[in-house]
Amino acid sequence: MSRSGAGPEQRQQASEADATATTFLASEHQHIRYNPLHDEWVLVSAHRMERPWQGQVELSLLKTVPRHDPHNPLCPGATRANGEVNPHYDGTFLFDNDFPALQPDAPNPGPSDHPLFQAEAARGVCKVLCFHPWSDVTLPLMSVPEIRAVVDVWASVTEELGAQYPWVQIFENKGAMMGCSNPHPHCQVWASSFLPDIAQREERSQRAYQSQHGEPLLMEYGRQELLRKERLVLTSEHWLVLVPFWAVWPFQTLLLPRRHVRRLPELTPAERDDLAFIMKKLLTKYDNLFETSFPYTMGWHGAPTGSEAEANWDHWQLHAHYYPPLLRSATVRKFMVGYEMLAQAQRDLTPEQMSSSCSGLSRVLVAVATALVSASTSCPQAWGPPGVQYGQPGRSMTLCCPGVTAGAPVSWFRDGETSLLQGPDSGLGHELVLALADSTDEGTYICRTLDGALGGMVTLQLGYPPARPIVSCRAADYENFSCTWSPSQVSGLPTRYLTSYRKKTVPGADGQRMSLSTGPWPCPQEPPGAARCMVHGAEFWSQYRINVTEVNPLGASTRLLDVSLQSILRPDPPQGLRVESVPGYPRRLRASWMYPASWPRQPHFLLKFRLQYRPVQHPAWSMV
pLDDT digits (tens, 9 = 90+) for 296-332: 989 999 999 999 888 999 999 999 999 988 765 555 6
Q: How far apart are CA 284 and CA 140, in angstroms?
A: 5
Helix, strand, coil share of the chain (percent; to 5): 20, 30, 50
More confident residue, 336 or 571: 571
What sign does the CA torsion over 356, 360, 361, 366 have? negative
Query: What is the average per-residue pLDDT within 550-569?
Result: 83
Residue 127 CB contacts under 8 Å (≥ 6 apart), including other chains: 94, 95, 96, 97, 157, 161, 188, 189, 190
CB neighbourhood size of 372 (10 A): 24
Q: How far apart are CA 159 and CA 265, in angstroms?
A: 6
Lowest mean pLDDT among 84-93, 106-115, 508-517: 508-517
Query: What is the average per-residue pLDDT within 541-553?
Result: 86
Per-residue pLDDT band for 343 (boundaries 50, 70, 90) equals confident
Query: What is the average per-residue pLDDT within 175-195?
Result: 89
Q: How far apart are CA 409 and CA 447, in angstroms?
A: 10
pLDDT in tens, 30-73: 889 999 999 999 898 876 654 544 444 454 444 577 888 899 99
Contact indicator for 165, 99 with CB cutoff of 8 Å = no
Per-residue pLDDT band for 620 (boundaries 50, 70, 90) equals confident
Instruction: Dump the DSSP string for 298-332.
Output: EEEE----GGGTTS--TT---EEEEE--EEEETTE
Lowest mean pLDDT among 62-71, 138-147, 272-281, 510-519: 510-519
More confident residue, 501 or 1: 501
Q: Is 557 helix (H, G, I), strand (E, B) or coil?
A: strand
591 has which bridge partners? 579
Query: Is-catalytic flag, 186?
Result: yes
Residue 439 DSSP class: G
The pLDDT, as a whole number, for residue 460 is 92
**Is the pLDDT reported for residue 517 higher than 70?**
no
The pLDDT, as a whole number, for residue 315 is 97
The pLDDT, as a whole number, for residue 342 is 80
CA atoms within 13 A on the CB side of 575: 8
The pLDDT, as a whole number, for residue 332 is 60
CA distances from 589 to 327, 451, 575, 577, 618 (A): 67, 91, 18, 13, 17
Q: Is 52 helix (H, G, I), strand (E, B) or coil?
A: coil
Q: How far apart are CA 373 and CA 232, in angstroms?
A: 9
pLDDT in tens, 380-401: 555 667 788 888 888 878 888 8
Query: What is the average per-residue pLDDT within 326-349?
Result: 70
Per-residue pLDDT band for 194 (boundaries 50, 70, 90) equals very high
Q: Which residues of 7-36 are buried (b: 16+ CB within 10 A; e: fewer)?
A: eeeeeeeeeeebeeeeeeeebebeeebebb
The residue annotated as part of the active site, out of 184, 186, 301, 319, is: 186
Per-residue pLDDT band for 611 (boundaries 50, 70, 90) equals confident
Q: How far apart are CA 71 and CA 54, in angstroms?
A: 39
Query: What is the average per-residue pLDDT within 433-458?
Result: 89
Lowest mean pLDDT among 236-250, 340-354, 456-470: 340-354
Nearest to 189, CA basis, from 172, 173, 169, 174: 169
The pLDDT, as a whole number, for residue 380 is 52
Residue 220 CB contacts under 8 Å (≥ 6 apart), including other chains: 209, 213
Query: What is the average per-residue pLDDT within 173-182?
Result: 82
Lowest mean pLDDT among 79-88, 169-178, 441-450, 591-600: 591-600
**Is the pLDDT reported for residue 14 higher than 60?**
no
The pLDDT, as a whole number, for residue 573 is 81
Pairing mode, strands 186-192 and 124-130: antiparallel
Contact indicator for 435, 456 with CB cutoff of 8 Å = no
The pLDDT, as a whole number, for residue 427 is 73
Q: To 10 degrees, what angle do helices 144-162 and 269-289 make?
A: 120
Q: How far apart are CA 231 and CA 225, in angstroms?
A: 7
SS3 per residue for 211-273: HHHCCCHHHHHHHHHHHHCCCEEEECCCEEEECCCCCCCCCCEEEEECCCCCCHHHCCHHHHH
Q: How far apart are CA 434 and CA 432, in angstroms?
A: 7
Q: Is 498 helix (H, G, I), strand (E, B) or coil?
A: strand
pLDDT in tens, 401-419: 887 887 788 999 998 888 8
The pLDDT, as a whole number, for residue 40 is 92
The pLDDT, as a whole number, for residue 586 is 81
Instruction: Dump the DSSP string for 342-375.
Output: HT-EEESS-HHHHH--SSGGGGGGT-GGGHHHHS
Nearest to 227, CA basis, from 246, 215, 240: 240
More confident residue, 39 or 26: 39
**Is the pLDDT reported for residue 2 higher than 90?**
no
Per-residue pLDDT band for 345 (boundaries 50, 70, 90) equals confident
Contact indicator for 449, 78 with CB cutoff of 8 Å = no
Contact indicator for 318, 300 with CB cutoff of 8 Å = yes
Q: Which strand (E) or helix (H) includes residue 21?
A: helix 8-21
pLDDT in tens, 209-267: 999 999 999 999 999 999 988 889 899 999 999 999 999 888 899 999 999 999 999 99
The pLDDT, as a whole number, for residue 19 is 52
Question: Mean of the per-residue pLDDT values for the chain?
Answer: 82
Contact indicator for 581, 589 with CB cutoff of 8 Å = yes
More confident residue, 156 or 504: 156
Q: How far apart are CA 173 and CA 181, in angstroms?
A: 9
Nearest to 491, CA basis, from 548, 549, 555, 440: 555
The pLDDT, as a whole number, for residue 381 is 52
Cα end-to-end distance, the chain, whole Å: 48
Phi, psi of 200, rounded to the nearest 5 degrees: -65, -40
Q: Is 171 helix (H, G, I), strand (E, B) or coil?
A: strand
